[in-house]
Amino acid sequence: MSRLLLGALACSLLAVGIAVPPAFASHVNVVTISGSINPASSDYIQQAIEQSENEAAAALLIELDTPGGLLASTKDIIQAILNSRVPVVVFVSPRGAWAASAGTFITLAGHVAAMAPGTSIGAASPVSISGGGGERGEGDERTDVSMEKAEKFTMAFIESIAKERDRNVEWALSSVRTAEAVAQDEALELGVIDLIADDRSDLLAKIDGMTVRTSAGEVQLDLANAEIREIEMPPLTRLFNYLASPDVAMILVMVGMLGLYMSSNSPVCCYPASRARSAWCSPQSRSRSCRSRGWG
């Protein structure tokens, strides 16, 4: 009787063993960044890295096409990539895409950095919110102290990234200092990226078997027949990402300025706002909330 039970158990385990592997087949998560680097796109990438770690994905592929973005958001992305336990592959694509400014930092930070034909990378000099980069005086030093500080910080930042990934440090520094930018062929020749790939399939085929070093140690990429899983940007995050676009943000600022102009020059328009303010922050109803908002 016991032999029959053991035999049945062995058969059950064998059946399970045959059925389980497909469910745990390797997969690659993919996110697409097409636009500026801002808090919304930063959260999107960070959440994708966390999800990939929780799912034990073979890799996370970031398909990147960006003109740049905010330094704070870029820092958060870089920190997440450098501390990722899952290999992060940054692919500047499709053809005609660029990894400018913040995109340069992100590409250099990837465990694997790749570019498609007809793409470019570089021009990572810091600029102010108005778009200016600061004038240079004698000794090629910026006359604006704040911009000088920003430049030195970003140079140290990109140097540490390039050293961590064993990429061309001198070129990385020049991309900040003199806004150096190159196309994919020169980037490969200079050691800025690891390879050039025609498309996603070509990329995964070329890096299959490559060994990279993550925060969890060395990992050999096993991407043969890996399932591709697209991670979509959540609707609310997509909305914030759209509103953070420089073009849209400028329109919103202009609308706001127009509203202030109209309210200050039109008694009829201004009356409701002034009445609402006086009613909310009147001596009888004054509260900490009013004072904390600078309304009274």
- Cross-strand partners of 120: 98, 183
Q: Which of 84, 101, 120, 125 is catalytic?
A: 101
The phi, psi pair for 16, rounded to 5°, reads: -65, -40
Q: Which of 34, 128, 149, 287 is catalytic?
A: 149
Q: Which of 208-214's residues contact partners 24+ apart within 8 Å by CB, and which partners?
A: 210/112, 212/87, 212/111, 212/112, 213/111, 214/84, 214/85, 214/86, 214/87, 214/111
Residue 101 a catalytic site member: yes
CA distance 4 to 62: 53
In three-state secondary structure terms, 227 is strand
Question: Is the alpha carbon torsion for 163, 165, 171, 175 positive or negative?
Answer: negative
CA distance 11 to 16: 9
DSSP 61-119: EEEEEB--B-HHHHHHHHHHHHT-SS-EEEEE-STT-EEETHHHHHHHHSSEEEE-TT-
Helix, strand counts (H, E) of the chain = 12, 11
Residue 149 a catalytic site member: yes
- Start-end of H helices in 83-217: 102-109, 145-164, 169-177, 184-190, 200-207
Catalytic positions are 101, 149
